[in-house]
Structure 1
Amino acid sequence: MRNKLAIYLSRAILLLCILAAPKTSLAQNNVIDEVVWVVGDEVILKSDVEELRLNYLYRGVPIEGNPYCVIPEQIAIQKLFLNQAKLDSIEVAESSVIRMVDMQMSENLQIFGSKEKMEEVMNKSTSQIRKELRDNIREGQIVKMVQESLVGDIAVTPAEVRRFYQNLSQDSIPYIPTKVEVQVITQKPKISLAEIDDVKRRLRDFAEQSNSGEMSFSTLARLYSEDLGSAMKGGEIGFTGRSSLAPEYANVAFNLQDGNKVSKIVETEFGFHVIQLIEKRGDRINTRHILLKPKVSSEDLELSLHRLDSIANDVRDGKFKFEEAAIYLSDHKETRNNGGLLPNPMDNTSKFEMQLLPPEIAKAIEKMNVGEISNAFTWMDDKGREVCAIVRLKDRISGHKATITEDYQSLRELVIAKKQEEILHEWILKKQKETYIRINDGWKDCEFKYPGWLKD
């Protein structure tokens, strides 16, 4: 169970702005847009608030209270954390941002049904949506890193957990929702050498066109790069540190000396790249790149699915155990040495609430009994790649009121979350006193969670 404040902020940051603000809104007149809050040297626009409100509405996320009070405060808290990140020089790895963008885009397509419908409703092109997602997710990850640096490692003793539980009234004892444990075996469909050779040929051609002056690298990136977030900026990814880049990319990029020459072809977990140096500043670098991703043929995809179905049948027939198959046959590095058991990164256990599982896995196990194995299906993994998978439902723990014997870990996490929230609460109150804050008339009549926004 995560810190409530962290969840609150993550939702506000990770949700993509969907529509422009209408001409009228609660607390406002017919002005199309205006600055409604100032936090330090950052502004909050009326359109920021309205877009996030509509985003919550489209995704069915409830807002507890007046949205024109709750949402500006969420954004203001975010800006306090982002300002701290600047002071502490906190960065987030770009590779992890790209993975999360890919997963969020997949979720968007499931919500809207098609790319065309998504673009119609959001009134933006796919490349614009990806860019906004990239910026928002990066900020969300930075906020999370700042929070983690502030709360540190909190020690909790068993006596504290017992005391916390004993002091709860019967109505306050938390309900533990149904949780599952899932084992997974994945296989990456093979990509033909011909497809890889074709990708490399195209990249070599792009490099030759740029090196010869036939066409600029930035134009080629806009036309052909499959990293849509940077493509619209001519392939430019902005100044980043080595740790924020894929290792293979960083090794080549930081060795570039001539901004007029294009690098050799670089393979990373995202695909194949060619890179152009823009500028170096100490331990940070700004580059352009063109990314191409080899495509899996339908025949190779079907072959991989068939292979996994055969493995599932062999396990069902008792020829070997699922755990053994995971160790020797799975491509999923994070699970194969643990019998395929999927780890939950949110609480460092193997137990998941259904809504926290990847959608494809949740759908596969929804009607399965404990011990059953699914048919093969495709799954977008945490690196944004389509892989084939089978899963086994290892355990299902039905929802129930927490007990100290069965749910000690969950109760311990509640105690930790309470302490974390107290630390962050005090930090926000302190930052409010140190930060210039101005709120326009018409936006002040609110019951804020943190009253320090309104200064005498």
Structure 2
Amino acid sequence: MPLKIQILKFTKKTSLLLLFALWQGIVFAQEVVTIDSTGTVNAETALIQPATTSVRDTTQPFKRYKAEGVSAVVGDYVVLDSDIDKSYVELKQQGISTEEITRCQLLGKLLEDKLYAHHAKIDSIVVPDAEINQQIEQQMSYMISELGTEEKVASFYRKDNIAEVKKELFEVNKTVRLASEMQRKVVDDIEITPEEIRSFFYDIPEDERPVFSAEVEVAQIVIEPEINRAAKQDVIDRLAQMRQDVIENGTSFATKAVLYSKDPGSASKGGLITGVKRDTPFAKEFKDQAFSLLEGEISEPFETEFGFHILMVEKIRGQELDVRHVLLFPEVSQTTIDKAEAEIKDIRRQIVEEEITFADAAKKYSDEKETRNSGGQLVNPTTFDTRFDLTKMDPTLSAQVYNLKEGEVTKVQTDRDYTGKSKFKILTVTKRYKEHQADYVKDYEKVKDLALKQKQIKAIETWQNKKIKETYVNVNEDYNNCEFSSNWLKNQ
């Protein structure tokens, strides 16, 4: 029977790395997600074993277990029983069934993570603390927005205060990043030749070759309600008044941000953004303002693609800044909203009545600069090509195009962006690809990716087996009956 896309003919000895790669989508993505990270054992899932139970069944999935103790040591790192427990919780939070996943399998994955991190330190791989701290601030902002307060976040993580939560997250995130960078270093120079790709494909029996899911190519035209000059000037005037109030009357900038800023990530923190560097992926105008000010200075109102701001430099630390800002959006009148909706309805009419092609209409009318010049063609953010797997694409986009025929145009769709502003769009399917068994010529790029991943995984296995021999590894006797894919027990 043909296999789905997750194929790759590997033996039972294949590393658990592959298993997790299939769950996460790509083995060597920009951020490698590991499972002993931010998951927290809560009262419903962290059940304590009865005192009479001395040895846990490591072949069974997560049920009842003790929530403390050392499972293994790898180099400078310790794997706790609670790390395995958190792994189950995180998998469940991601909607992954844990019924077939054993503690042995999860321990093996955690051992791999620690091995990578240990050798990343030996190889002097550096992950700047500032980057980790920035990541933690983003995590904190998200958690606070979800749970409401810092106290609730600390309670969720079973910590006395938010500082303890940040300390734990720092260690976890640092280990994850080190492991990720070590993995990348192992496979960075691996390339694959056309002959290797050909051999990979034709070595797979014909009835076992992968089946690629149905795919579509999608284009869209977006019309945004115009923001008039009066609305923009009103926002500029409000920000200028706030600036004047802080400078002349000593009002707290942080208070202004809490009361008025529309930035959900920083408003609750008084508009504070820490660790801003020149290469931080913020709007150019934002960074230009930040690095033109002295400590304590406040900018004039300025515009970015996200809205209008005023910005104050809180602290200068060499090439890093801590800043506060207030973000406001201009009001959009109902008249301009109605005008934009009428415009896109007329564009749709012209396309349906074949007065203009969809691609030409996109180039002529669309307000979405990222897609306008390509005739509205969308690019898959995961694969960076124009094809979207119908089983993996964004659910909202999938619902809009799933039943469309090639060339058919949707009715007008209404979206709201992060500012709450309405925008209108129409979509079309420019090309459909049916589910099919892999074809060497037609699916060459996909086959190439699979062949490269197989070669990368083999390189990882070789590196891992070598490093296990060179590294201090001690696995708790509770796990001596595990059948690990790698020799973690060292035949102990």
Sort the TM-score into its range (normalised by shorter chain): 0.7 to 0.9
CA contact (8 A) 2:215 2:390 kept: yes
Q: Do 1:211 and 1:261's aligned partners in 2 also have CA atoms closer than 8 Å?
A: no
Matched, 1:287 2:314: no
Alignment pair present for 1:53 and 2:91: no
Q: Report the equivalent of 1:24.
A: 47
- The counterpart of 2:125, out of the listed 73, 79, 87, is 87
Deviations 1:20-62 (A, max 9, x none): 3544157598977778677777776766654553343244223
Specify every segment of 5 or more residues in structure 1 that has no aligned partner in the other structure, as ranges: 109-114
The answer to whether the aligner puts 1:349 opposite 2:388 as a matched pair is: no
1:177 paired residue among 213, 225, 228:
213
Structure 1 contact 269–383 (Cα < 8 Å) conserved: no
Distance across 2 between alignment mates of 1:382 and 1:417? 36
Give the corresponding residue for 2:97: 62
Distance 1:385 1:73 in 2: 48
Aligned AA (2:125): L
1:113-262 matches, cutoff 5 A: 150-152=186-188, 154-212=190-248, 214-246=250-282, 247-258=284-295, 260-262=296-298
Q: Deviations over 1:160-190 (max 9, x none)?
A: 2221111112343111111111112222332
Question: 1:214–1:323: structure 2 CA closer, same or farther, 3 Å change rule?
Answer: same
User: 2: distance between equivalents of 1:238 and 1:167?
Assistant: 53
Question: Which AA in structure 2 matches 1:248?
Answer: E
- Say yes or no: does 1:308 pair with 2:344: yes
Per-residue deviation, 1:92: 11
Partner of 1:112: none
More helix by share: 1
Q: 2-side partners of 1:452 and 1:54: how far apart? A: 24
1:296 is displaced (CA, Å) by 4.5
Letter in 1 for 2:311: I
Mean Cα deviation higher: 433-442 or 354-363: 433-442
- The alignment partner of 2:303 has SS state of strand
Q: Secondary structure at the match of 2:266?
A: helix
Structure 1 SS opposite 2:312: strand
* Number of residues of Structure 1 aligned to a counterpart in Structure 2: 435
For residues 282-316 of structure 1, the C-alpha deviation after alignment (integer angstroms, 9 at most, x for no partner) is 33323233333445455544543332222122111
Q: Alpha carbons of 1:207 and 1:75: their partners in 2 closer, same or farther (altered >3 Å)?
A: farther
- Give unpaired runs (5+ residues) of structure 2: 7-16, 25-31, 50-55, 57-62, 158-164
Q: Structure 1 CA distance, aligned partners of 2:315 and 2:491?
A: 44
* 1:189-217 CA distance string (max 9 Å, x none): 32344443443344334433443464433
Q: Do the aligned residues in 2 keep the contact of 1:361 with 1:391 (CA within 8 Å)?
A: no
| Structure-2 separation of matches of 1:236 and 1:453 | 48
Identity of aligned residues (%): 28
Deviation at 1:443, TM superposition (A): 7.0
Q: Which residue of 2 aligns with 1:111?
A: none
Task: Give a deviation string over 1:90-114, Cα, whole Å, max 9, x none.
Answer: 79999x989x99xxx8xx9xxxxxx
Kindly indicate whether residue 314 of structure 2 is the aligned counterpart of residue 267 of structure 1: no
Deviation at 1:410, TM superposition (A): 1.4
Shift in CA distance, 416/253, structure 1 to aligned 2, threshold 3 Å: same
Deviations 1:195-251 (A, max 9, x none): 434433443344334434644333443444333333344433222421114221111
**Take 2:406 and 2:356, find their aligned partners in 1: how far apart are those partners?**
18
Question: Are the counterparts in 1 of residues 313 and 323 from structure 2 also a CA contact under 8 Å?
Answer: yes
**Is 1:320 equivalent to 2:347 in the alignment?**
no
Deviation at 1:11, TM superposition (A): 5.6
SS at match of 1:229: coil
Kept after mapping to 2: 8 A contact 1:6/1:144: no
Does the 8 A contact of 1:360 with 1:379 survive in 2? Answer: no
Distance 1:165 1:428 in 2: 26
> In 2 relative to 1, CA 439–152 (structure 1 residues): closer, same or farther, beyond 3 Å?
same
**Taking structure 1 as reference, are residues 11 and 43 closer, same or farther at Cα in structure 2, changes over 3 Å only?**
same
RMSD over aligned CA atoms reads 4.8
Distance 1:19 1:446 in 2: 24
Q: Which of 412, 420, 440 in structure 1 is aligned with 2:456? A: 420
Q: Using the alignment, how far apart are the partners of 1:276 and 1:317 within structure 2?
A: 53
Local SS of the residue matching 2:239: helix
Contact kept? 1:33, 1:45, Cα under 8 Å? yes
User: Tell me, what secondary structure is at the counterpart of 1:242?
Assistant: coil
1:70 CA displacement? 4.5
Q: Which has the higher mean CA deviation after the structures are superposed, 386-395 or 152-161? A: 152-161
Give the greater-gyration-radius structure (CA): 2
SS for the counterpart of 2:403 is: coil
Letter in 2 for 1:24: L
Asked whether the 8 Å contact 1:203–1:265 carries over to 2, the reply is yes
The amino acid that maps onto 2:206 is Q
Q: Which amino acid aligns with 1:365?
A: V
Which digits, 9 at most, give the CA deviation of each residue in 1:399-423, with x for residues without a partner? 1211213222211111112123334
SS at match of 1:189: coil
With over 3 angstroms needed to count, the CA separation of the structure-2 counterparts of 1:329 and 1:33, relative to structure 1, is farther
Query: What is the 5 A alignment of 1:1-16?
Result: 4=18, 6=21, 8=23, 10=32, 12=34
Cα shift readout 1:115-154 (whole Å, capped 9, x = no counterpart) = 99x759xx968xx99x99x999999899767755653365
Give the whole-Å Cα distance in 1 for the aligned partners of 2:34 and 2:335.
42
